[in-house]
Amino acid sequence: MTTDVKHDVVIIGAGLVGLALAVALSRAGLSVAIVDRGCVAAADSPHDAGWDARVYAISPGSAEFLHECGVWQRLAAERMAPIEAMEVFGDDDGRVRFDAYELGERALAWIVENRELNAALVAALRADAGIEVLAPAHPTSIAWHAAHAEVGFEEGETIRARLVVGADGIRSWARSEAGIDVEPRSYAQSGVVANFSTERPHRGRAFQWFIGDQGVIAWLPLPGKRMSMVWSAPDALARELVALSAGELAQRVAQAGKSTLGALEVITPAAAYPLAFLKLDSVIATRFALIGDAAHGVHPLAGQGVNLGFGDTSALSKLLAARGPVTDVGAPLLLRQYALRRSAPVLAMQVVTDGLVRLFDSPLPWVRSMRNRGMRAVDAIGPLKRLLSAPALR
């Protein structure tokens, strides 16, 4: 690390979104450093550890961006499963079916394990000699100056760049350093994840059930007769589910899903993570920008959290690559354009997901009738269904 303005961009946080931004910016010809408190590494043989319980539904738009970054090509096809159709059920007789063929897509999304995607991103990062990786490293301060920003480290060294990007999660340290002090709002729910083998084939279908005071459960297809579950459950129920034996959990999950795929068998133990909502007045500050969960938090019922993050990354990297005569990548003009480009898609997804959580959380009979009637109406009106599905395909 030096005291010179050595880099165009320093990224704080080496999660999936931060790694993708580093690769995209470097491919655009920018000088990049990425900082993380942990190691930036991937297992040499990630398949040896079985199936990762944490999976993502990668949209066609995100897949295209990752392909442009040279990352999608590194994923093993046998570890991915396309969602060719999705059936969503209300808590009464409401039902909506989304079909990739009807929407003119090869797939609504691709289910990819967290470990697989991380390994592909790390491989792309390591293959790019132009990216400086500072990990593990312990940043302690960020100072902003007229022509640069300076990140200070516990070890007493500093690194300077024209722009600092916070990609360090929903409780972002970088965001706090920039003076954007907003506390995420807890949903009082946890996302319980586990993988199962299934008695019957899923045939590329994903399923989702709104189950009243028990939250929302989604089944996502994995290769073969396997599926991954994400149960957005009230905290007390989440603790109960994680504590169940493998046999009890399989029976409970099969029952919640109406035994749609027959008997289930646990292949990856259950784990849980807290769910929170985050909305910021601004995702930029002086020589600073936020991406991914550091910029916004959404409920996972639509599976769009990581896709919003990749959308941020795509927008910021393409904007900086095409900045024309503006040589300073931290210029306020560029940052305002980034914030403007991302405000509408992020707000739209937050309104939809948060609104659905609130709508299905109401125990009032007339609300229950309205929401299920609305689902049936959406299913019956093709143009409306296409309109609603469009943001999730980007």
Q: Are 99 and 84 in contact (CB under 8 A)?
A: yes
pLDDT tens-digit readout, 101-155: 888 889 999 999 999 999 999 999 999 988 999 999 999 999 999 999 999 999 8
pLDDT tens-digit readout, 32-70: 999 999 998 865 555 666 899 999 999 999 999 999 999
CATH architecture of 1-80+114-184+278-361: 3-Layer(bba) Sandwich (3.50)
- pTM score of the predicted model: 0.92
Question: What tokens were used for 70?
Answer: 């040279």
Q: Is the peptide bond before 136 cis (omega within 30 degrees of 0)?
A: yes
Strand partners, 234: 189
Beta strand pairing call for 32-35 and 5-12 = parallel
Cα radius of gyration rounded to whole Å, the chain:
21
Give me the residue spans of the domains in the chain. 1-80+114-184+278-361
Strand partners, 81: 111
Confidence of residue 1 (pLDDT cuts 50, 70, 90): very low
Predicted pLDDT at 312: 97
Answer positive or negative: Cα dihedral of 39, 321, 30, 64.
positive
- Residue labelled with tokens 């997901």: 353
Residue bearing the bigger pLDDT, 75 or 385: 75
